[in-house]
Amino acid sequence: MSHTTIPARVALVTGASGGIGGAIAERLAADGMAVVAHYSSRAAGAEEVVDRITAQGGRALALGGDVADEDAMTSLFQTAIDTFGGVDVVINAAGIMPLAPVAETDLEVLDRVLRTNVRGTFVIDQLAARHLRRGGALVNVSTSITRLQTPTYGAYAASKGAVEALTLVLARELRGRDITVNTVAPGPTATPLFFEGKTKQMVEGITALSPMERLGRPEDIAEVAAFLAGPGRWVNGQTIHANGGAA
């Protein structure tokens, strides 16, 4: 670890046990940030992300907890502050995506989606608003489904519409603190969550939506998140659709 007069920036990434969140955690570490990689249930995945970061000479820590539980997340933020000295970047990548037509959606499943995707985002955003240092950045993660409006995604699209609505409100509330608040809205991205329950034919059909003729990669989304977390200081209160032109 180098001893410089400028302390390293510190990033807290929720849902960092793999997929998009894991790629973002690794990308921010490559930019020199110390990273807290949060996981909900997949501790092994988060530990693998941390191992890859530390193998490259970075600093990282895996911590678990339910994003919708304010006490657990308060503890998470405090551990980040105690370990690394503060928090400069928060990336909200935790989320769940059970699919069903609206007419057939189990309302208990809806409650679970809203708890994780809406309440969880709100809890993390609230803590970020309280703890981010000047010059900080908050990046929520939505989905291009809010534009594509694909059947069976009703509960998920509704939850992410709420995430996008929260972003500009919070950006305005943080006036005067030099903190940006944005949302990145990925299109179809090749992660385990995306492939779950889809046939080869379905995957091919979704891939064809993009004029780039491929699925997004987690690294594609991480690149946008890193821009918003670092040099993109004049982008604020926005939803950036990173989907290769699919929507």
User: So which residues are the catalytic ones?
Assistant: 156
Q: What is the largest CA-CA distance in the chain?
A: 59
- The β-bridge partners of 241 are 185
Question: Which amino acid, one-letter code, is at 97?
Answer: M
Which residues lie below 8 Å from residue 91, measured CB to CB, with a gap of 6+?
Answer: 11, 12, 13, 14, 21, 24, 25, 28, 139, 141, 225, 229
Which residues lie below 8 Å from residue 140, measured CB to CB, with a gap of 6+?
Answer: 92, 121, 125, 163, 164, 166, 167, 181, 182, 183, 184
Tokens read off for 124: 């993390």
What is the rounded CA–CA span in Å between residue 75 and residue 71? Answer: 6
Beta strand 87-92 pairing with 60-64: unpaired
